């Protein structure tokens, strides 16, 4: 039975942030995030872009509701 203590190191440093696979000979980085392949880099960038566009829609919805308070209630 093996015990894992926090002081012994972390397996997270040896795994890809997107797919949780182990790294090969090359590591790719995007926004200081270690990734295992170009495929994971592209997936990570697409996710960041979609998160940014969602925040834009949230801001638009918030602005519209604050312009017409009678309509919001």
Question: How far, in Å, CA of 36 to CA of 21, rounded?
Answer: 7
Question: How far, in Å, CA of 26 to CA of 23, rounded?
Answer: 7
- Residue range 5-48, pLDDT digits in tens: 444 555 667 899 999 999 989 899 888 899 999 999 999 999 88
Answer whether residue 1 is part of any domain: no
Answer whether residue 55 is part of any domain: yes
Question: How far, in Å, CA of 53 to CA of 46, rounded?
Answer: 11
Flag whether the pTM goes above 0.85.
Answer: no
Question: How far, in Å, CA of 59 to CA of 52, rounded?
Answer: 11
* Residues 16, 35 contacting (CB under 8 angstroms): yes
Report residue 25 as tokens.
């000979």
Answer whether residue 35 is part of any domain: yes
Domain assignment of residue 37, given as a range: 12-64
pLDDT at 49: 85
């Amino acid at each position: 039975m093996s015990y894992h203590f926090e002081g012994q190191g972390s397996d997270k440093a040896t795994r890809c942030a997107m797919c949780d696979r182990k790294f090969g000979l090359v590591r790719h980085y995007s926004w200081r995030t270690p990734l295992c392949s170009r495929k994971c880099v592209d997936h990570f960038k697409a996710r960041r872009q979609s998160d940014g566009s969602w925040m834009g829609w949230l801001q638009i919805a918030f602005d519209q509701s604050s312009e017409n308070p009678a309509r919001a209630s």
